[in-house]
Chain A
């Protein structure tokens, strides 16, 4: 079980959260390829990954987590408007 530092509530157990993966901006004017990329393509890197989680059973806020996908170590969390997306 991961211990995730919610930037609003503090450290909480992983099962209070849901995973969002890579944050992808909504395209305003998209052809089929760009729309497919927005709907279905999410990065799946090995190593440091900036990803989104939501505190479903808490403040219900989305936020950013920097996590190593090889070790599961979380090195940073932040609010969406203050962290690099």
Chain B
């Protein structure tokens, strides 16, 4: 295995755009890169370009809180997220590049009786689906995560937690390096600084894209643009049930190891893990309004810190090092939209909202299948745009909410 921190400048080619590709993927984030990689590897589609308006690693690829888990509730979701977790378990070996994937265990706290009932329901559903899940009483939670305050005399006491031992984290920039390197090695052109400015559509069939680097013809086009997807869809002449909003996170300075698991609280909108460099990585709530500004309001962070200090008194002296925000694409049922659009040969993969990082491998896996065959993979067939008309929604607000 190569050193984990090899200079990224040597990891992929930076070719000039070709006049035409079999598949053009719009968006060089983790999902776009994974899609390109699996197109080349699983489907022998190698004449592929990934178009990135900025540079690789400027967007949500490196703005997430790196949490990985598969404990969703619905029959459609569980196999999707569980395949993702299974792919994570072999990803570093497959890509021959360490991504610091660490299955340190993931706690989801319950603070009320209702939350405890919902969490146990999910635990049982997960077990029936073959996904590891346990319910812990407060003392067991304390044993698993000693710095957690389980006193009943706080505003939001811990009444229990669900635990997925196979859950954990990975280093997101290394994931980006690994996927970009592997895709490039298989012939995928990664085109940075190449912004899509329009779509060439004839007889309701996409023929290619107009970009800041000129026109590029394409057999098929796949959107993988997260928060910017509504803007691209409108450019192509249709609408999506997606609203784009800021989601904030922050990191402390490097500290001694104090937290050896991932701990999430959906009710309090705070989720914490300690990165390998010692920084406490904490995710916050969404700013609940449409925005493309990649920044959020301070009151959201203030609320998050209040909750964090009640749950983890030891953190009161930690210093906040940085805060940032990414623009997340929120769907009405907190589930992604992966499949066809009203324009032929133009496909969409969006709506991952606040929880896309964990889904990186499976998102690429099923989207590559969808793009290669023009038909969804069995795992993403239910995640169609049509479900908002048929009413067959996949409500994951309980599992996804903002915590992820």
| Same assembly | yes
List the interface of chain A (C-beta within 8 A of B).
1-2, 13-15, 18-19, 21, 32-33, 35-37, 39-46, 49, 51, 67, 69-72
Max chain B CB contacts within 10 Å: which of A13, A19, A46? A46
List chain B positions with a Cβ less than 8 A from chain A.
230-231, 234, 239-244, 288-293, 297-299, 332, 388-390
Can you offer 13 A-B residue contacts whose CB atoms are under 8 A?
A: A15-B299, A35-B389, A39-B332, A39-B388, A40-B388, A41-B239, A43-B290, A44-B230, A44-B231, A44-B290, A45-B290, A69-B289, A70-B293
Chain B neighbourhood of A71, CB < 8 A: 293
- Assess the A46–B231 pair: CB atoms within 8 A: yes
Is the beta-carbon distance between B241 and A42 smaller than 8 angstroms? Answer: yes
Contacts of B242 in A (CB 8 A): 44
Minimal Cβ-Cβ distance residue in B for A49: B290
Bound-state Cα–Cα, A67 to B290, Å:
10
New contact pairs (11) apart from A1-B297, A33-B389, CB-CB < 8 Å: A14-B299, A32-B389, A32-B390, A36-B241, A41-B241, A41-B388, A42-B243, A44-B244, A44-B290, A45-B290, A70-B291
| A69→B292 contact, CB < 8 A | yes
A21 and B290 contact, CB distance less than 8 A: yes
Measured between beta carbons, the chain A residues less than 8 angstroms from B290 are: 21, 43-45, 49, 51, 69
Given A19-B288, A32-B390, also A69-B293 (CB < 8 A): yes
Selected contact of A21 from candidates B234, B243, B389, CB within 8 Å: B243
A44→B327 CA distance, assembly (Å):
12
A39 CA to B290 CA, complexed, in Å: 17
Given contacts A15-B299, A36-B388, A40-B388, contact A72 B239 (CB under 8 A): no
CB distance from B383 to the nearest CB of A (A): 14
User: Chain A: which residue is nearest B393 at the CB level?
Assistant: A40
Enumerate chain B residues within 8 angstroms of A45, measured Cβ to Cβ: 230-231, 234, 290
- Closest-CB distance, B158 to chain A (whole angstroms): 26
Chain A positions within 8 Å of B297 at CB level: 1-2, 14
Query: Which 3 A-B residue pairs are closest in the complex by CB-CB distance?
Result: A40-B241, A44-B230, A36-B389
A67 CA to B293 CA, complexed, in Å: 12
Given known A1-B299, A41-B239, contact A69–B291 (CB-CB < 8 A): yes
Instruction: Determine whether the beta carbon of B388 is less than 8 Å from that of A44.
Output: no
B296 to chain A, nearest CB (A): 10
